Structure 1
Amino acid sequence: MDASGEKYSILLPTYNEKENLPIITYLICQYLNESDINYEIIIIDDGSPDGTLEVAKQLQKIYGSDKIVLRPREKKLGLGTAYIHGIKHATGTFIIIMDADLSHHPKAIPQFIRKQQETGCDIVTGTRYAGDGGVYGWDFKRKLISRGANFLTQILLRPGVSDLTGSFRLYRKKVLERLVQSCVSKGYVFQMEMMVRARQFGYTIDEVPISFVDRVYGESKLGGSEVIGFAKGLLYLFATT
């Protein structure tokens, strides 16, 4: 693939991802090297007590400091601030955000890039709810909550995107900077607000179907309190946008 000289910065916020980080890093490098894409992986570890940062340092030795950029923080400060922190250090014109827990497969990254090149859009978002996208490893309750949240959001906010709570996306760097600065939500709602604000600002969004696989190692981060937080955040967005 000709990525037309563009550079892509992949932000990987991590917290206790010692087992997953070597695998996700290997896969990103494999798929992007195959496609001849210029990239860097920015690992933003939030003071993981499990030794994630030590693993990241080993990966930097293996892949080189031009490919693996370490920008750790002292403690867990949340996803939104992790992105702000990562953007500051990103040297790419485009930024890809994804989870480090293997729920997002790096093979989709070249598809995101291709879609952006074809359409010239500002954002490409991975969707579990269109085309041949899907969710694997979730029980019925999780699927119901996710689908329900998405359905409710579609009705209230009409964002023009089929998957709002997903977090596997490609952004123009300057677009992501503006969106992150304008977002007030935390946690699960943050991804949704990004899409709502993008629509408000008139940015163009395209979608690529992805398969989402639940965490291979470690605990899932979605519980009852997240669901309540999501509902509150949704109502806030509905009231303010």
Structure 2
Amino acid sequence: MSGEGGLTSEELAEFTKNDKYSILLPTYNERDNLPIIVWLIVKYMDRSESAYEIIIIDDGSPDGTLEVAQNLQKIYGKDRIILRPREKKLGLGTAYIHGITHATGNFIIIMDADLSHHPKFIPKMIELQRYLDLDIVSGTRYIGNGGVYGWDFKRKLVSRGANFLTQMLLRPGASDLTGSFRLYKKHILEKLIKSCVSKGYVFQMEMIIRARQYNYLIGEVPITFVDRVYGESKLGGSEIFQFAKALLYLFATT
């Protein structure tokens, strides 16, 4: 089988044999979820036969998340589990910057540690990126067989409404702007982070908008998003306010 660039399967395998994936897991109070998500990542990445590492960036969780991560490192090894904790909660964007600094892969995968994102979709993202040589592959809840489970009607309505409004105002060329399950070429992610001014919940949205400005190639894989099993959601009124503020800022500046 040939890819779009005319590569055979054997040539594609040779071209990608040195690829390595650094999976960033920012955590805050995820002691119950972390062992499960790490086990699932290992399961599906081992099946894909891709080289990878898992970088856990814990922001001073008071529930003992770091201690759990240290135990996981003993189980899976220091080459597989990389611990890069911080003293306190400093924001999602800075967590990615911190993680990338220690990443040895040429690709970065970002995802939530609360089991909202199932690692079974990672091999599909890798396959799509390799086939089309994409700069970014984003997991989307809003096309194909993607969807959301565990949310009540009100939260689904807010999410859909926010996404629709953003599509109308910014026309980003991607169906899911606030999702945080993505694969990036490392150098692309580094450039995007430097160009972004947002923090927290709206950081993901700005990343896609900036990617459109730079004409990066973006692909999408339908995913099912499942509301967290353990712990409390970190989305509240302040995050919604930040979203609205950032939307207006990006509309005025892009």
TM-score bracket for the superposition, by shorter chain length: over 0.9
By how many angstroms is 1:193 displaced? 0.2
Letter in 2 for 1:110: P
2:52 counterpart of 1:39: yes
By how many angstroms is 1:161 displaced? 0.1
SS in 2 for 1:73: coil
Q: Could you tell me how far apart the structure 1 residues matched to 2:54 and 2:110 are?
A: 10
By how many angstroms is 1:5 displaced? 2.3
Match of 1:19 in 2: 32
By how many angstroms is 1:187 displaced? 1.5
2:221 counterpart of 1:208: yes
Match of 1:5 in 2: 18
Match of 1:104 in 2: 117
Q: Name segments (4+ residues, structure 1) moved above 6 Å.
A: none
The alignment's TM-score, normalised by the length of structure 2, stands at 0.93
Match of 2:195 in 1: 182
Match of 2:141 in 1: 128
Match of 2:3 in 1: none
What runs of 5+ residues in structure 2 fail to find an aligned partner?
1-8
Q: Could you tell me how far apart the structure 2 residues matched to 1:35 and 1:200 are?
A: 32
By how many angstroms is 1:27 displaced? 0.2
By how many angstroms is 1:4 displaced? 2.3
Q: Could you tell me how far apart the structure 1 residues matched to 2:19 and 2:215 are?
A: 23
Match of 1:234 in 2: 247
Match of 2:80 in 1: 67
Q: Could you tell me how far apart the structure 1 residues matched to 2:234 and 2:39 are?
A: 24
State the Cα deviation string for residues 127-149 of structure 1 (Å, max 9, x = none).
Answer: 00001000000011111111111
2:177 counterpart of 1:161: no
Letter in 2 for 1:74: E
- What count of residue pairs does the alignment treat as equivalent? 241
Match of 2:104 in 1: 91
**Of 184-193 and 85-94, the range deviating more from structure 2:** 184-193
Match of 1:114 in 2: 127
2:165 counterpart of 1:145: no
Letter in 1 for 2:82: V
By how many angstroms is 1:188 displaced? 1.5
Sequence identity, in percent? 76
What runs of 5+ residues in structure 1 fail to find an aligned partner?
none
Q: Could you tell me how far apart the structure 1 residues matched to 2:229 and 2:34 are?
A: 12
Q: Could you tell me how far apart the structure 2 residues matched to 1:229 and 1:5 are?
A: 40
The alignment's TM-score, normalised by the length of structure 1, stands at 0.98
By how many angstroms is 1:107 displaced? 0.4
State the Cα deviation string for residues 92-114 of structure 1 (Å, max 9, x = none).
Answer: 00000000000000000000000
Structure possessing the higher radius of gyration over alpha carbons = 2
2:215 counterpart of 1:221: no
Match of 2:4 in 1: none
Letter in 2 for 1:211: T
